[in-house]
Structure 1
Amino acid sequence: MDIIKPTTEDNCKTYKIRWLILILFVLYSASNSLQWIQYSIIANVIVKFFDVSSVAVDWTSMIFMILYIPFVFPASMILDKFGLRKTVLLGTIGTTIGTWIKVASIRPDLFWVSFLGQSVVALSQVCILSVPARLAAAWFGPTQVSSACSIGVFGNQLGIALGFLIPPWVVSDGTTDEVTSGLYKLFIGTAIFSSAITICTFLLFKDTPPTPPSMAEVLKKTESDTSFKASLIALGSNRNFILLILGYGINVGIFYAISTLLNQIILNYYPGNAVDAGQIGVLIVLAGMVGSVVCGVVLDKTRKYKETTLAVYILSLIAMVLFTFTLNSGIIIVYVTSAFLGFFMTGLLPVGFELASELTYPEPEGTSAGLLNAVVQVFGIVLTSGYSIIFNKLNDLWANGIMCSFLVVGCVLIALISSDLRRQAAHNKKFIDIQTPP
């Protein structure tokens, strides 16, 4: 029996294989993102083993943001021109190559090889972050597209959570031989996992279904092709989209800053509680994973894209205020407020993707998502650096207060977005005259 089996009898069909496609992407995304924090979470061990500075270790995570900015545009063009399958294969092959390079770097004088492998993995990330919205639109119907997008984003968060948890378990501080053994286990395990995902993707991942899942996709297929440059120009002149990417960039950039400096923030109030700092980081990610899925379901149920985005943004601001003023209230309270912060800040990820798709339809989702993520990386670098300077020169209260002020600005930007959603109009279109050229 053919694995592609339609589950509806309507003109726009969905197929059972869509869930396999989505699961493969989630695992592929996780195999990449789990390596983002792989060195930094055991920085003390890496500094000692490779005899490098902590700044060098910080760069193993910063390189993900740095490389994304210039390469997101060619990656978006590849997604638009060559489709999902080729883009995903390119990313998963690159991730696998990078992981095996790191396996060959486990020697005290080969940090540069390890950094090279990490850079290859980071470069492969550009073939991931723009995919969830495109995959959801290509394979899932109107009532599931937001949930599918949120699950796609969930893969990235799953990988980050694993990146926080696994390295400290496998690699502990000790003799050179003990650290070497631990790093071998960590890197080889990651490489085998990534290789298995690559093989499965090559054999099972498909580009698009035989029949579009929604009227919006039907309309897109019947419209004339537009160049990548034309899409960029259209997006750049879209007022609502510009407001969204600025507001979205502020929110997610602040989340990156808090995550990166969480260890320093917690130890400032609770010296010696490094383990709690790590566990709070995991809790933030896990709460964010739940938030991503919940927000996706809410979008599917309500179709209130701008309203949901604004509500989540306001709740993110409230969570940031609570986090700021309860840091000295006891470690248990910090756990609770951190989970609240992660739930809403990360919950904004799929909501932002979906609102971008609605505001920019019929422009390719890969292009809009790529621009969205590029701005996020810029804000992430700027806000992380700014937070670090303010934190060290003044204190965390000043740093968090300024971040809260930025979130207020972000709320205003989102509120200024018009509610005129182009894709929703296509979803509601009852009749369409499709003419096939002779």
Structure 2
Amino acid sequence: VMERTENGENQVKVYKKRWCILTVVSLYGILLCIDFSCFGQINNVLAKLFDIQPWQVDWLNLVAPVVYIVMAIPISAVISFVQFRQLTIIYLAIFTVGLILVLLGVSITRGFPCAIIGQVCIGFSALFNFAGIPLTASIWFPSNEVALAVAVQLLSRGFGQVVGSTVSPYLVHVNQSVEQNRLHMMMFFGALASAAFLLTVFGFVFVENRPPSTASFAQQNVTDPISSFTVKGALKEFKEILTNRTVAPVLLAGCMCYVVIVFYTVLLSSILHKSFPSTRNINTLSGRLVMLAWALSTISSLVAGPIIIKTRAYKLLLLINVFGMVLSCACVLLFFIFQNIFLLYIGMAALGLFDGFVVTSVLELLAEVIYPKPMTHVTQLFLSGTAIMQLVYITVNRAILTNVGAIEANILTFAFILLLITKTSYARTEMNESNESANL
């Protein structure tokens, strides 16, 4: 398929292979998020399986944020010297190794350290992949399909979160013996590792650095990042972004809001077990609620873009959805006070709807604020920020849950989100403004 210039001359081509490549990276996103979302709902079962404490199980989710915080900038430098095919094969191969190590970990009683190392590998894989999301779209797809390519990759991640949080409570539960649960976890991670291995082989065979001719006119003038990248230049750009008076509140809002849904993905089952120790099927209920939140978050993130573009009410939409996050957290708190399950369903559904919208709004705002600096800097900053907040939310609230109570473990998260609707500057600078910047 060819694009044409105004004179009718063929200048760029698009190739059917782009859909194969998009399929590979999207399937990877599904497998990755199945892994990330499967542990929290079965925390108590895994604690018995590994013969460890519940707070230690949390680190199957927390090692990845540690990797993001420590390695985001070094890996961004490495990525600048790696071409698309190499990058794809690297994160697929590391992911496969990580899943094999987790599989080995769940197969033995004292296999928790092996599983942790596997999750570290998966964290590295995810970090490399975050750079691949915009590259897949920009290198292989024409300008009118870039948004679609990005949306499909994000949709695959949401689908993976839904599958992981739903399936794991049905595979393993407290009514089965430890050995039965171990066998089911081995089957689960065996299937994930096998699928990841096949994706790696497929990627090695079919993925190329770029199409024979560029997929869009913009790509014809792209500067080679390998020749233009310097560590000093990158650090200078990060410093300029972080010292921008507009970036901090917007970045903070996005990180604090996004991590709420991750917090409940990891800890909701434990919180419910603490409040209702004699209730059966808590893990299944938790998985269903987390599935609902991620499904609605995925849908809202997809519809947020067109709404933002049409209304251009950037600050208003962000504030409305942050306020919605406050209400959703309040509903969850009220559930523990009145013990009405309807409130919990309402709270988790609202959490998913507003969370997806907030994240999309924040990324759009940041992209405009830092223009014309690279969009990859936005994803790196957002990834590091969410990693820090994830560590704070989960480790602090796990300690509160263990030593104080379930209601109190929800209050800190509610208080953090409540701070975001105080008088805060959520400004957006129009990148095409020629005179003074316009805050919308």
> For the superposition of Structure 1 and Structure 2, which TM-score range results when normalised by the shorter chain?
0.7 to 0.9
Unaligned runs of 5+ in 2: 435-440
Give the deviation of 1:90 after TM superposition: 1.0
Give, in whole Å, the separation in 1 of the partners of 2:141 and 2:310.
Answer: 15
Q: Distance in 1 between matches of 2:324 and 2:141?
A: 29
Report the equivalent of 1:331: 341
The secondary structure found in structure 1 opposite 2:58 is helix
Contact 2:165 2:265 in 1 (8 A): no
Are the aligned partners of 1:84 and 1:207 in contact in 2 as well (CA < 8 Å)? yes
Tell me which residue corresponds to 2:266.
260
User: Which residue type is aligned with residue 230 of structure 1?
Assistant: G
For residues 263 and 60 of structure 1, the distance between their equivalents in structure 2, rounded to whole angstroms, comes to: 15
Q: TM-score, normalised by structure 1?
A: 0.82
User: CA-atom RMSD, angstroms?
Assistant: 3.4
Contact 1:140 1:213 in 2 (8 A): yes
More displaced stretch, 35-44 vs 337-346: 35-44
Counterpart position of 2:254: 248
SS where residue 254 of structure 2 aligns? helix
Question: Counterparts of 1:176-215 in structure 2 under 5 Å?
Answer: 176-209=178-211, 210-211=213-214, 213=216, 215=218
Judged with a 3 Å threshold, the aligned counterparts in structure 2 of structure 1 residues 259 and 109 are, in CA distance, closer, same or farther, namely closer
Pair 1:282 & 2:291 matched:
yes
Structure 2 residue aligned with 1:434: none
Match of 2:391 among 351, 373, 381: 381
The alpha-carbon distance between structure 1 residues 404 and 178, as it changes in their structure 2 partners (threshold 3 A), is closer
- Secondary structure of 2:228's partner? coil
The one-letter code matched in structure 2 to 1:382 is V
Kept after mapping to 2: 8 A contact 1:232/1:367 = no
What CA distance in whole angstroms lies between the structure 1 residues aligned with 2:223 and 2:424?
A: 30
- 1:243–1:414 contact (8 Å) kept in structure 2: yes
| Deviation per residue, 1:226-273 (Å, 9 max, x gap) | 424313322321213334322222212333323322124444555515
Residue 108 (structure 1) aligns with: 109
Is the contact made by 2:40 and 2:269 (CA closer than 8 Å) also made in structure 1? no
Q: Which amino acid aligns with 2:187?
A: K
Between 242-251 and 87-96, the greater mean CA deviation after superposition:
242-251
Q: d(CA) in 1 for partners of 2:123 and 2:86?
A: 18
For 1:319, the equivalent position in structure 2 comes to 328
Question: Given residue 69 of structure 1, which amino acid in structure 2 is its aligned partner?
Answer: I
1:33 alignment partner in structure 2: 33
Moved more, 161-170 or 396-405: 396-405
Between the aligned partners of 2:48 and 2:399, the Cα distance in structure 1 is 26
Cα deviation, residue 380, structure 1? 1.1
In the other structure, the counterpart of 1:86 is 86
Give the TM-score, by structure 2 length. 0.81
Residues 113-122 or 14-23, more deviating: 14-23
CA deviation profile, 1:375-409 (whole Å, cap 9, x unmatched): 11001111223334455566555554543443244
What whole-Å deviation, never above 9, does each CA across 1:169-221 have from its counterpart, x for those lacking one? Answer: 33455345433432331121111111122122223334445325364x56653
Q: Deviations over 1:97-131 (max 9, x none)?
A: 11222333412233332332232222222112343
Instruction: Give the equivalent residue in structure 2 for 1:410.
Output: 420
- For 1:364 and 1:158, how far apart are their aligned partners in 2? 28
Mean alpha-carbon deviation: is it higher for 411-420 or for 161-170?
411-420
> Does residue 162 of structure 1 match 2:163?
yes
CA distance in 1, matches of 2:208, 2:362: 26
CA distance in 1, matches of 2:400, 2:48: 28
Q: Aligned partners of 2:27 and 2:165: how far apart in 1?
A: 17
SS in 1 for 2:125: helix
- Distance of 1:146 and 1:246 partners within structure 2: 25
Residues of 2 paired with 1:12 and 1:311: CA distance? 42
- 73-82 or 406-415: bigger deviation: 406-415
Query: In structure 2, the residue corresponding to 1:107 is in which secondary structure?
Result: coil
Mapped to 2, the partners of 1:192 and 1:283 lie a distance apart of 28
Residues 130-176 of structure 1, C-alpha deviations (whole Å, 9 max, x = no match): 43344444445565544543432233322222222233333455345
Q: Using the TM superposition, give the Cα deviation of residue 93 of structure 1 relative to its aligned residue in structure 2, in angstroms.
A: 0.5
Question: Match for residue 235 of structure 2?
Answer: 232
Q: Is the 8 A contact 1:150 1:296 kept in 2?
A: no
- The equivalent position to 1:6 in structure 2, one of 2, 9, 31, is 2
Give the CA deviation at 1:354: 4.1
409 and 367 in structure 1: CA distance in 2 versus 1, 3 angstrom threshold: same
Name the aligned partner's letter for residue 288 of structure 2.
Q
Instruction: Give the direction of change, closer, same or farther, for the CA distance of 1:343–1:8 in structure 2 (3 Å limit).
Output: farther
Equivalent residues, number: 419
Query: Corresponding residue for 2:437?
Result: none
Deviation, 1:360, is 2.9
Do residues 370 (structure 1) and 363 (structure 2) align?
no
What's 1:352 paired with? 362
5 Å-filtered alignment, 1:115-134, equals 115-134=116-135
Report the identity percentage: 20
Q: Is the 1:236–1:242 Cα contact (8 Å) retained in structure 2?
A: no
- Amino acid across the alignment from 1:162: V
Task: Return the letter of the residue paired with 1:280.
Answer: L
| Cα distance between partner residues in 2 of 1:207 and 1:316 | 41
Q: Is the 8 A contact 1:147 1:300 kept in 2?
A: no
- What is the CA-CA distance between 1:301 and the residue it aligns to? 5.4
1:397-436 matches, within 5 Å, as 400-411=410-421, 415-421=425-431
Cα distance in 2 for residues equivalent to 1:92 and 1:227: 27
| Structure 1 position 276, deviation (Å) | 1.4
- For residues 168 and 255 of structure 2, what CA distance do their matches in structure 1 show? 29
